[in-house]
Amino acid sequence: MNIRCFQRNFSAALPPLVPLQLPSPMETHLWYVLPDEVKSWGLLNQYSELLSPCEREGVNRMRGDQLKKRALLARALVRTTIARYQTNSQMNPRSLKFRKNLYGKPEVEWRDEDNFSPLPLQFNLSHTSTMIACGVTVNVPIGIDIEEKQRRTKNNLIAFAQRYFSAYEVKVLTTISDPEVQRQEFIKLWTLKEAYVKALGKGFSAVPFKTFTIRFRETTLRNFHPPGSSVSEASDIIVESFDDPTNPTNNWQFTLLEVAGSHYGAICIKKDRTAGANELMKLTVWKTVPFVEDVCVSGTDAVVDLGRIIEQ
Amino acid sequence: MASSTGLSLKFSPLSTSFKQNKVRGICNVNSVSLPSRGMRLGSLRLRVSCAAKPETVDKVCSIVRKQLALPKDSPVTGESKFSALGADSLDTVEIVMGLEEEFGISVEEESAQHILTVQDAADLIEKLVEQKSA
């Protein structure tokens, strides 16, 4: 290709991805890319070589360069993220095959003829115009959703909530007097509800937003403290479903974050059967430019846990 | 932004270089979706005989433009896919709400889930409007 004359630092082969151990049960890994940090056209071209022809067609169907870039980065992020966890042999991100489950939820299709072994992982993707995120778990369903903190609805917020949210949620939103706080809480609630539906993986019509409530609940974390110490109060995020008795809602754990100072992110995972009743989801977050730089941002102010307020 | 302008100049060769017209496996004519969504091909035939009125399509286009804040010269037609225009799930839900208000209809989640293009929305609207007045 004659684009090679524009490449400066990149050789034909991409450097290997830094391999990583799979998350443990009840652990989630979150990887995110900031499109504005990916400016090298040579790098974008190399990402595009990782995609299947079908995915590239999908990218080309997007209207305009920004949307094309976003779609490209989303596919590149998913492929490179999953490929990292193959520690035994080098998994070429390009070799991964994807399919959709019965309801349209994307998943990896592991095949016998591939020369790498299947990984017991599940993933979910979400993006905005300024961030693309991919969550990974071992064995348990996961759903994630990110939204820009500054996102505004075109419709009146309360009218929107009345149309789509549960009565309890509308009540909670309506009682917030500060419009900016109300807007922020709306966005947080939206991401939590999206994450739940995506984790369930049965499509949006299977779990209409109005049929479940997500709310904060005070809990007391007694068993994390040795006898004699003070008891912590915490706020849990829980979901209550109105009409699905086959899906006990205490099966799902939520995390609500502020990411990179610019986004709200919600993660919903199914609790592993072996996990203790009060075991908390452990989360590790990386900011990445695949093949260029991975930075673990857990414990920095790039990741703020909004869902857990521990007071003593 | 200088960097994005530079990028847009170079994206054209990027897209033309991927003009692979092989359609195989899961890659349908209209969408990259499951074979079970092959019902889309059926609806392609139906569309010819039951297409929504142009006025309906135009109204949908204008609601979509407004929601996605598209520039005036950005073409939006019946064939336009919401996702290709940059609509995320919140946009789509807002668009559906806008359509409900504009046409006085109520769209169930099952139906909303199958709306991929402007034409899909227009066809559904006319169906619901007809059912309402029946």
Write out pLDDT tens, residues A27-79. Answer: 899 999 999 999 999 999 999 999 999 999 999 999 999 999 999 999 999 99
On whether residue A11 sits in a domain, the answer given is no
Looking at the complex, does the CB of residue B62 fall below 8 Å from at least one CB of chain A?
Answer: no
- B90 and A62 within 8 Å at the Cβ level: the answer is no
| A271 and chain B in contact, CB less than 8 A | no
Query: Which pLDDT does position A276 carry in this prediction?
Result: 63
pLDDT at res. B62: 93
Span A74-98, average pLDDT: 88
Going by pLDDT thresholds of 50, 70 and 90, the confidence category of residue A294 is very high
Q: Which of B58, B88, B120, B123 is catalytic?
A: B88
Q: What is the predicted pLDDT for the residue at A278?
A: 61
Q: Which range has the worst mean pLDDT, A41-50, A202-211, B31-40?
A: B31-40
In this prediction, what percent of chain A has a pLDDT beyond 90?
Answer: 61
pLDDT at A232: 52
* Sign of the four-CA dihedral A81, A85, A91, A96: negative
pLDDT of residue A245: 54
Range of the domain at A191: 24-36+117-310
Is the pLDDT at A91 greater than 90, yes or no?
no
Burial A226-252 (b: 16+ CB within 10 A, else e): eeeeeebebbbbbbebeeeeeeeeeeb
The answer to whether residue B58 is catalytic is no
For chains A and B, what is the number of CB pairs under 8 angstroms? 99
Confidence of residue B55 (pLDDT cuts 50, 70, 90): very high
Tokens of A266: 């919600």
Interface predicted TM-score (ipTM): 0.83
| Number of domains chain A contains | 1
- In-domain check, residue A202: yes
Q: What CA–CA distance (Å, rounded) separates B42 from A63?
A: 26
Q: pLDDT per residue over B15-24, tens digit each?
A: 333 333 333 3
CA B112/CA A209 separation, integer angstroms = 13
In angstroms, the first-to-last Cα distance of chain A is 62
Fill in the amino acid letter for B61: C
DSSP B7-41: HHHHHHHHHHTT------TT--SS-S--GGGGHHH
Q: What percent of chain B lies above the pLDDT cut of 90?
A: 46
Q: What residue of B is the nearest CA neighbor of A70?
A: B86
Mean pLDDT check: name the lowest of A228-232, A294-298, B119-123: A228-232
Residue showing tokens 């706020």: A235
CATH number for the domain including A204? 3.90.470.20
Residue among B13, B86, B93 minimizing CB distance to A67: B86
Q: Which of A205, A210, A212, A243 to mutate to test the interface with B (most CBs of B within 10 A)?
A: A205
The minimal CB distance from A194 to the residues B13, B26, B89 is found for B89
Cα–Cα distances (Å) from B98 to A109, A154, B16, in that order, read 38, 9, 36
Residue of A3, A40, A63, A264 best to disrupt the B interface, most CBs of B under 10 A: A63
- With CB atoms and an 8 Å threshold, state whether B85 touches A63: yes
Rounded to an integer, the average pLDDT of A190-199 is 96
Is B33 in CB contact (< 8 Å) with chain A? yes
Residue of A nearest to B19 (CA): A57
* Whether pLDDT at A139 is above 80: yes
pLDDT at A258: 97
For residue A48, what is the nearest residue in chain B, using CA coordinates?
Answer: B14
pLDDT: which is higher, B118 or A278: B118
Q: pLDDT tier at A262 (50, 70, 90 boundaries)? A: very high
The three-state secondary structure class of A107 is strand
- Is the Cβ of B14 closer than 8 Å to some Cβ of chain A? yes
Q: Does position A183 have pLDDT exceeding 90, yes or no?
A: yes
Rounded to two decimals, what is the model's pTM?
A: 0.82
- Reported as a single tens digit per residue, the pLDDT across B65-120 is 999 999 888 899 999 999 999 999 899 999 999 999 999 999 988 888 888 999 99
DSSP B65-93: HHHHT--TTS---TT-BTTTTT--HHHHH
Whether B30 has a pLDDT exceeding 50, the answer reads: no
Residue A303 lies in a domain: yes
